[in-house]
A and B are shown apart, each in its own frame.
Chain A
C-alpha cells in the first residue's frame, strides 16, 4: 500500500510528485496519457511562467516530467475508472489495476469544452478543431474562425494568423477576457478580424467545413463567413467523472476543495484545474500540487 496516490501528471500532479518525493512519501502517480504534462502539451508557448519566458508547453511539460523522474517518482499508466474512498484505505481503480493508499490527491485536470452547435460533431476532424497547434498547419493560406475570448482562444488566433490568410475571432461579448498583452498582440495583426457580440450558430459545408454562421446577440442579424476551419476554444470541462458521487463537486463538476486542498472526504485532496478556484494556470496548478502534499503529510500524521 502506498502513502499517497496522485491522479494525473499535469503540472499539478507532477508538482505534487516532486514534493511527495522530497517528503519521502511512498507515492505513485497515475496518468492516462503516455506523455506527462496534461493540457500544456497542446500549448504553443507558455509566457507567464516565471523564469521560463517563451518556453513551449511541450518543453515545459518535459522539464517537469524529467524533474519528477530524477527524484525517482513512480509513474504508471492507467485510465482511472472509479474510486473507493469510504474506508481508511483509499482505492483507485484503473482499466488495468487497483491501487491502494492512505491518501489521494486528485489532479486529473480538464479538457476542452464543446460548444454544442450544429455541425460541430459532424465536422470533427473535417474542419472543426480544438487544437490550433496540432491542426493549424492544415489551414495554411486559408481562412479560419476562432470561437472564444479567453487566453487559449486569443493564443490560438495569434498562432493561426501566422500561416492563415485570414483569422476571424468570434466572441460573445465586446471585449476579450484574455490577458491584456495577448489582446494587444492579437489586435495588432493585419489579418485578424474581430466578430464581436456574436455567437456561433452553425457550421456547414459539404464533406468539409465551408461556412460558419454567426448571430449578433443584439440585433439577431446573421452573418455567414466562408471558412475552411473552425477552432473552438470556449473554456474547459473538469475531468472528474470518475470521482462523481465520491467527493463533493460544484454544478460544473469541479471538485470542491478548501485552501489546503482538502475535499469533503478526509485524506482526499484536489489540485490544479479540476478543483474549484479562481485562476486556472500552470503557475497556480503547481502551487496547488505542493500545497496538497503538505496537507496530505499532515493527514498521514494523524493516522
Chain B
C-alpha cells in the first residue's frame, strides 16, 4: 500500500515509525515522477511489512519539501528512526530501486 503523507501526519507516520519509511517527494507535472510511480507501487507491495512506503506532493507540502531540501524531483528518501538515511534523486530503473530497498530494510 502506498500512503499519502502531508504536514499533518508526517511526524506520526514517518518520523515516529517503527519500520523504515520510504518517502517519494513528487509533483503531478513531473514526467520522471510519473515514470517512477508504478515502480514504487510495485515495491510497496513487495516490501509490505518491511518498509512503509508513501508519497508527499511537493505542491501541497511546500514546508516539508523545503525542510528536506527538495530541489529536484522525483526525490525519494529513506527514513530510519526519524532521520533521512538514504536518498535517490531522479528516475532510476526498477532493479536499481529494488537494490536500494534491500539495503534499507
Tell me the A residues contacting B by CB distance below 8 Å.
32-35, 37, 41-42, 57-58, 77, 79, 95, 124-131, 133-135, 137-139, 207-208, 229
Contact = CB atoms under 8 A, between A and B. Distances in A.
Closest 7 CB pairs of A and B: A125-B89, A41-B31, A34-B38, A125-B72, A33-B35, A79-B93, A35-B35
A34 B42 CA distance: 11
Contacts of A208: 69, 71
A164 B45 CA distance: 40
A135 B91 contact: no
Contact of B73 (A128, A135, A139, A229): A135
Contacts of B36: 34
Interface string B43-72: 000000000000000000000010001111
A143 to B, nearest CB: 14
B71 A126 contact: yes
Given A41-B31, A134-B30, A34 B71 contact: no
Contacts, number: 74
Interface in B7-65: 27, 29-39, 65
B29 A95 contact: no
On chain B, which size bracket covers the interface? 20 to 34
A282 to B, nearest CB: 15
Contacts of B32: 41-42, 131, 134
Most central of B36, B37, B75, B94 by chain A CB within 10 Å = B94
A124 B37 CA distance: 21
A131 B73 CA distance: 9
Most central of B29, B31, B73, B95 by chain A CB within 10 Å = B31
A58 B27 CA distance: 14
B38 A134 contact: no
A35 B91 CA distance: 11
A129 B73 CA distance: 9
Contacts of B75: 125
A223 B94 CA distance: 41
A95 B92 CA distance: 14
A134 B33 contact: yes
A35 B31 contact: yes
Given A124-B89, A125-B87, A125-B89, A34 B72 contact: no
A42 B69 contact: no
Nearest to B66: A138
16 contacts: A34-B34, A34-B36, A37-B31, A41-B31, A79-B95, A124-B89, A125-B89, A126-B72, A129-B71, A131-B30, A131-B32, A133-B29, A134-B30, A138-B65, A138-B72, A139-B71
A96 to B, nearest CB: 9
Given A42-B32, A126-B71, A131-B90, 15 more contacts: A35-B31, A41-B32, A58-B31, A79-B93, A95-B95, A125-B71, A129-B72, A131-B31, A134-B30, A134-B31, A134-B33, A134-B73, A138-B70, A208-B71, A229-B71
A143 B36 CA distance: 29
A85 B94 CA distance: 25
B73 A126 contact: no
Contact of B27 (A35, A41, A42, A137): A137
A130 B32 CA distance: 11
Nearest to A136: B29
A137 B72 CA distance: 9
Contacts of B73: 134-135
A135 B31 contact: no
B94 A135 contact: no
B93 to A, nearest CB: 5
Contacts of A128: 72
